């Protein structure tokens, strides 16, 4: 018999009746009846009930075993009587009648800092410090298994699509753009540092220039930035992808198969089947997204859309000064139609108004449209229209005209005369019983507020679709933007993206009008991926950096390897990178990223289990030529700690 187990704790069934088996695992739970003791033995695979009574000389000893001890149990598989079977357990038809057992771990004598056999929510500090205990608990244990399965599925799907996985350096050079780098002192080069890669961006492009055609990597990425609920400090993983001789459409086609497939495969993980967008995913130009959704990561589960109605409030016959003043300064008015809310109590509108004030807006103006939609039922007009329709006469325009009958109500309705109202009705597609909310400000701020209002209104109305993953690609990002702080032109996203129109566009067009071949993949309002077709032409690269205000020669200096490669035969190429942690969060429906990472750091970027970061020994610092120069507050802290 095997030293530890003949079966796992999820294997035994009625058919094993009478067999002598050995199972190993943790003491999950005890039910002690005095003369009869049940122990649930738990391993990775499941639970099996072990039973022993006072007839057995081992009873007294076995009874004393504490929870979470690791034991092996040898015994006979016994069929439970029908009334004692447990339908909730896969192994619930049988139990193991103990003949012998062995304690395999050092005996657990300390009080457990957290209990494994409950799903009670525990404080993160305890969970992270005793992560190995926490990870034994069912929910997070399953999440980590999901993570493994998802990563495997990604690898399999990528390989099926003809990709190969490559490793790229972890110790590399600091990148001039982007987030703060993690630095590693170079012992052999006093005063110099390696940096951990924020992403393998240049390496994957260089692999394309090395002729490998299709690259992917489950790539660790390191960025020294502060944490969020959906962002770990320090490190995270991407499904990093790059392909040669491709257009944007080729990248989309591959990733829709891979990511769509992964989501479909695991969409039932929580027990609620989620629907997944079918390829091809909707494509939304950046400008359209900013207008219709108020951000560049539209949540398509929300049916509301934003419409520009500046033209309505700019009319001479509209007297609403609050908006007119802003329009005169170059501002815009954005509108959100909320269907069928006219019967909502006043508090519905007041709540949204005070919400907007909390967002820093003067308020959230609105107009409610009431009255009869179209033709009055049972009227002579209706009979006439029906008769015309029955004879094949087109009556749409007649019905359309009836919309004029809608009455406008609400605080700002009186400033909008009938004709302007009609224009508003046309623009927004208003029907009887709808309300229209307004956000008025300069373009960027109005879009932002309208976007938040769109979400808020839909939440209040409870009309956001549930149980689905709605994907889209946001495309045509601007290549450049004005940097708020400096007021100068800067790259708006990735300097490696090919500007649409190439070098010619850079030379002839207004930089702020140039679009990049740059795209994001968005699901349910979360950015899952960013990518682009790369700029592989050295001249275009230099020109782009020149426009962004870099001195001549900056490209050679910052990206020497890449620049050389560009000049020595670079294929057109592009790709993207999906955030793996976030994908798993979505599939597991976990609001916190630490629930899908086995050993995460806390918000202060500390590993409470390993005690990282920690101080270094003087000889270690000497080796790497580092002298510590602490800020005053930290000095005090260390002195205090030292006693």
Residues of this chain that interact with RNA (CB under 7 A) are 29-36, 38, 40, 49, 51, 53-55, 66-67, 80-81, 83-86, 88-89, 92, 95, 111-115, 118, 120-126, 128, 175, 177-180, 198-199, 201, 223, 225-231, 491-496, 530, 592, 594, 602-604, 606
CA angle 345, 349, 350 (to 5 degrees): 100
Residue 59 or 405: the one with the smaller Cβ distance to RNA is 59
Is the Cβ of residue 88 or residue 346 nearer to RNA in the bound state?
Answer: 88
CB of 370 to RNA, least distance (A): 37
Measured from the CB atom, the residue of 419 and 459 that comes closer to RNA is 459
Q: Is the Cβ of residue 123 or residue 378 nearer to RNA in the bound state?
A: 123
Query: Which residue's CB is nearer to RNA, number 395 or number 605?
Result: 605
CA distance readout (Å), 453 to 245, 334, 587: 42, 11, 27
User: 23 CB contacts (<8 Å, ≥6 apart)?
Assistant: 5, 6, 7, 8, 9, 12, 41, 43, 48, 50, 72, 73, 96
Q: For RNA, give the closer residue by CB, 53 or 272.
A: 53
Shortest distance in whole angstroms from residue 497 CB to RNA:
9
- Least separation in angstroms between residue 520's CB and RNA is 11
Structure tokens at 501: 């129109």
Tokens of 618: 């003087």
Cβ-based neighbours of 303, under 8 Å, separated by 6 or more: 458, 463, 465
Query: Which is nearest to 607 in space by CA: 287, 322, 234, 354?
Result: 234
Cα 406 from chain centroid (whole Å): 42
Least Å distance between CB 79 and RNA? 9
**Least distance between RNA and beta carbon 591 (Å):** 8
Taking the complex as a whole, the smallest distance from the CB of residue 207 to RNA amounts, in Å, to: 15
Q: How far is CA 19 from CA 2, 125, 543, in A?
A: 14, 45, 77
In angstroms, the CA 532 to CA 538 distance is 17
Nearest residue (CB) to RNA, 64 versus 329: 64
- Kind of pairing, strands 47-53 and 36-42? antiparallel
Tell me how far, at minimum, the Cβ of 268 lies from RNA, in Å.
24
- Are 594 and 584 in contact by the 8 Å Cβ rule? The answer is no
Given the complex with RNA, which of 234 and 365 has the nearer CB atom? 234
**Cα–Cα dist 284/291, whole Å:** 11
Based on CB atoms, which residue is closest to RNA, 24 or 198?
Answer: 198
Give, in order, the Cα–Cα distances in Å from 189 to each of 192, 365, 393, 623: 6, 63, 86, 11
Residues 6+ apart with CB under 8 A from 69: 26, 27, 103, 105, 107, 108
Nearer to RNA, 471 or 559 (CB): 559
Chain centroid, CA 162 distance in Å: 27
In whole angstroms, the minimum distance from the beta carbon of 37 to RNA comes to 8
In the complex, least distance from residue 603 CB atom to RNA, rounded to whole angstroms: 3
CA–CA distance from 590 to each of 119, 122, 516, 525, 581 (Å)? 14, 15, 34, 15, 11
Which residue carries 């049988």 as its tokens?
94
By the 8 A CB rule, do 37 and 59 touch?
Answer: yes
Contact 250, 439 (CB under 8 A): no
Smallest separation (angstroms) from RNA to the CB of 631: 8
- In the complex, least distance from residue 458 CB atom to RNA, rounded to whole angstroms: 19
What angle in degrees, to the nearest 10, is found between the helix axes of 346-358 and 443-461?
140
Residue number with CB closer to RNA (48 or 353): 48
What distance in Å separates the CA atoms of residue 296 and residue 302, rounded to the nearest whole number?
14
- Collapsing DSSP to helix, strand or coil, 71 comes out as strand
Nearer to RNA, 231 or 409 (CB): 231
- Residue 228, judged by CB atoms within 10 A of its CB (0-12, 13-18, 19+), counts as exposed
Least Å from the CB of residue 116 to RNA = 10
- Least separation in angstroms between residue 360's CB and RNA is 12
**Residue 123 or 358 with smaller CB distance to RNA:** 123
Number of other CB atoms surrounding residue 53 within 10 Å: 13
Residue 41: both structure tokens together:
């033995």
């Amino acid at each position: 018999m095997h030293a530890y187990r003949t079966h796992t704790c999820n294997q035994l069934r009625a058919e094993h009746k009478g067999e002598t088996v050995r199972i190993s695992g943790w003491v999950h739970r005890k039910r002690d009846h005095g003369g009869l003791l049940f122990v649930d033995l738990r391993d990775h695979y499941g639970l099996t009930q072990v039973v022993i009574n006072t007839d057995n000389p081992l009873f007294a000893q076995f009874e004393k075993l504490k929870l979470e001890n690791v034991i092996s149990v040898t015994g006979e598989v016994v069929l439970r009587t029908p009334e004692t079977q447990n339908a909730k357990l896969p192994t619930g038809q049988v139990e193991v009648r103990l003949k012998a057992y062995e304690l395999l771990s050092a005996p657990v004598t300390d009080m457990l800092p957290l209990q494994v056999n409950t799903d009670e929510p525990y404080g993160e500090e305890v969970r992270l410090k005793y992560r190995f205990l926490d990870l034994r608990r069912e929910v997070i244990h399953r999440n980590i298994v999901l993570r493994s399965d998802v990563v495997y599925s990604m690898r399999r799907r990528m390989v099926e699509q003809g990709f190969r996985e490559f490793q790229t350096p972890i110790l590399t050079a600091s990148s001039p753009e982007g987030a703060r780098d993690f630095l590693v002192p170079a012992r052999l080069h006093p005063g110099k540092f390696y940096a951990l890669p924020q992403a393998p961006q240049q390496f994957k492009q260089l692999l394309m220039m090395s002729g490998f055609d299709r690259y992917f990597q489950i790539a660790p990425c390191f960025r020294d930035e502060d944490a969020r609920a959906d962002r770990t400090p320090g490190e995270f993983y991407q499904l990093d992808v790059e392909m040669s001789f491709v257009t944007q459409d080729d990248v989309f086609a591959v990733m829709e198969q891979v990511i769509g497939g992964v989501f479909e495969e695991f969409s039932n993980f929580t027990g609620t089947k989620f629907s997944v967008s079918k390829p091809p995913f909707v494509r939304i130009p950046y400008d359209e997204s900013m207008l219709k959704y108020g951000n560049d990561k539209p949540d398509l589960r929300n049916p509301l859309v934003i419409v520009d109605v500046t033209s309505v409030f700019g009319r001479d016959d509209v007297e609403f000064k609050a908006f007119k003043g802003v329009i005169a300064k170059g501002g815009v008015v954005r509108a959100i139609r909320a269907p069928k809310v006219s019967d909502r109590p006043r508090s519905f509108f007041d709540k949204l108004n005070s919400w907007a004030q909390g967002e820093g807006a003067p308020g959230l103006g609105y107009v409610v449209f009431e009255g009869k939609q179209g033709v009055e039922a049972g009227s002579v007009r209706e009979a006439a229209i029906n008769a015309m329709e029955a004879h094949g006469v087109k009556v749409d325009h007649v019905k359309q005209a009836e919309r004029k009958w809608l009455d406008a109500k609400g605080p700002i309705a009186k400033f909008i005369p009938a004709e302007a109202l009609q224009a508003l009705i046309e623009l927004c597609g208003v029907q009887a019983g709808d309300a229209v909310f307004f956000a008025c400000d300069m373009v960027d701020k109005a879009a932002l507020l309208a976007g938040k209002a769109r979400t808020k209104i839909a939440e209040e109305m409870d009309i956001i679709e549930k149980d689905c993953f709605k994907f889209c690609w946001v495309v045509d990002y601007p290549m450049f933007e004005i940097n708020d702080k400096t007021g100068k032109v800067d790259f708006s996203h990735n300097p490696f993206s090919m500007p649409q129109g190439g070098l010619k566009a850079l030379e002839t067009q207004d930089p702020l009008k140039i679009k990049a071949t740059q795209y994001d993949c968005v699901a349910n309002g979360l950015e899952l991926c960013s990518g682009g077709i790369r700029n592989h032409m050295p001249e275009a690269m230099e020109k782009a950096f020149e426009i962004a205000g870099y001195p001549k020669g900056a490209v050679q200096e910052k990206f020497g390897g890449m620049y050389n490669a560009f000049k020595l035969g670079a294929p057109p190429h592009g790709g993207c990178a999906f955030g793996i942690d976030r994908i798993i969060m979505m599939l597991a429906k976990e609001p916190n990223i630490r629930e899908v990472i086995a050993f995460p750091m806390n918000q202060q970027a500390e590993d409470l289990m390993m005690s990282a970061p920690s101080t270094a020994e003087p000889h270690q610092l000497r080796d790497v030529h580092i002298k510590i120069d602490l800020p005053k507050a930290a000095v005090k802290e260390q002195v205090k700690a030292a006693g």
